[in-house]
Structure 1
Amino acid sequence: MKVSASNVLPKNKIKRTKGERAFDFVNVSIMVFWAIVSVYPFWYILVMSFNTGADAATGPIWFFPREFTLENYAYVLQYDRLHSAFIVTVLRCLIGPAISVIVCMLAAFTLSKRFLPGRKTLLFFFMIPMFIGGTIISNYVVMANFGLLNNFLVYILPGAFGFFTMIIMRTHIEQLPDELQESAMMDGAGYVRIFFQMILPLSMPVIAAFAFFAVVGNWLDYYTNLLYVTDRNLSTLQFVLYEIINRAEATQLIDFTSTSSASQRRLMSMQNNTVPTPEVIKMTVMVVVTFPLLFVYPFFQKYFVKGMLTGAVKA
Structure 2
Amino acid sequence: MRVRANKIKRTAGERSFDFFNALIMVIWALTAIYPFWYILVMSFNTGADAASGPIWFFPRVFTLENYAFVFQYDRLHSAFIVTTLRCIIGPVLSVIVTMLAAFALSKRFLPGRKTILFFFMIPMFIGGTIISNYVVISKLDLINNFLVYVLPGAFGFFSMVIMRTHIEELPAELQESAFIDGAGYFRIFAQIIFPLCMPVVAAFAFFAVVGNWLDYYTNLIYVTDRSLSTLQFVLYEIINRAEANTVIDFTKTSGAAARRLMAQKNNTVPTPEVIKMTVMVVVTFPLLFVYPFFQKYFVKGMLTGAVKA
Q: TM-score, normalised by structure 1?
A: 0.86
In 1, Cα distance between equivalents of 2:267 and 2:308: 61
1:277 aligns with 271
Residues 175-221 of structure 1 show CA distances to partners (whole Å, capped at 9, x for unaligned) of: 11111111111111111111111000000000000000000000011
In 2, Cα distance between equivalents of 1:226 and 1:314: 43
Within-5 A mapping of 1:1-315? 10-11=3-4, 14=7, 16-17=9-10, 19=12, 20-252=14-246, 273-313=267-307
Tell which structure's C-alpha radius of gyration is larger: 1
Q: Does structure 1 retain, via aligned residues, the 8 Å contact 2:242–2:273?
A: no
In 2, Cα distance between equivalents of 1:247 and 1:74: 19
2:253 aligns with none
In 2, Cα distance between equivalents of 1:12 and 1:198: 48
The gaps in structure 1 that reach 5 residues or longer are 1-6, 255-270
In 2, Cα distance between equivalents of 1:253 and 1:72: 14
Q: TM-score, normalised by structure 2?
A: 0.88
Stretch deviating more after TM superposition (241-250 or 161-170): 241-250
Q: Number of residue pairs matched?
A: 292
2:260 aligns with none
2:252 aligns with none
Residues 255-274 of structure 1 show CA distances to partners (whole Å, capped at 9, x for unaligned) of: xxxxxxxxxxxxxxxx9943
User: Percent same amino acid among aligned pairs?
Assistant: 80
Q: Does structure 1 retain, via aligned residues, the 8 Å contact 2:242–2:276?
A: no
Change (3 A) 1:314 1:104: farther
**1:296 partner amino acid:** V
Q: Does structure 1 retain, via aligned residues, the 8 Å contact 2:200–2:300?
A: yes
**1:89 partner amino acid:** T
The two structures, once aligned, show a CA RMSD in angstroms of 2.2
Change (3 A) 1:11 1:305: closer
**1:117 partner amino acid:** P
The gaps in structure 2 that reach 5 residues or longer are 249-264
Query: Any idea what SS the aligned residue of 1:14 has?
Result: coil
In 2, Cα distance between equivalents of 1:187 and 1:114: 22
Residues 112-140 of structure 1 show CA distances to partners (whole Å, capped at 9, x for unaligned) of: 11111111111111111111111111111
In 1, Cα distance between equivalents of 2:83 and 2:247: 30
Query: Any idea what SS the aligned residue of 1:134 has?
Result: coil
Residues 240-296 of structure 1 show CA distances to partners (whole Å, capped at 9, x for unaligned) of: 222222333444489xxxxxxxxxxxxxxxx99433233222221221121000000
**2:7 partner amino acid:** I
Q: Does structure 2 retain, via aligned residues, the 8 Å contact 1:143–1:149?
A: yes
1:265 aligns with none
Change (3 A) 1:313 1:128: farther
In 1, Cα distance between equivalents of 2:290 and 2:125: 32
**2:108 partner amino acid:** R
The Cα of 1:96 is off from its aligned counterpart by 0.4
In 1, Cα distance between equivalents of 2:267 and 2:83: 33
* Segments ≥4 residues shifted beyond 6 Å: none
Query: Any idea what SS the aligned residue of 1:310 has?
Result: coil
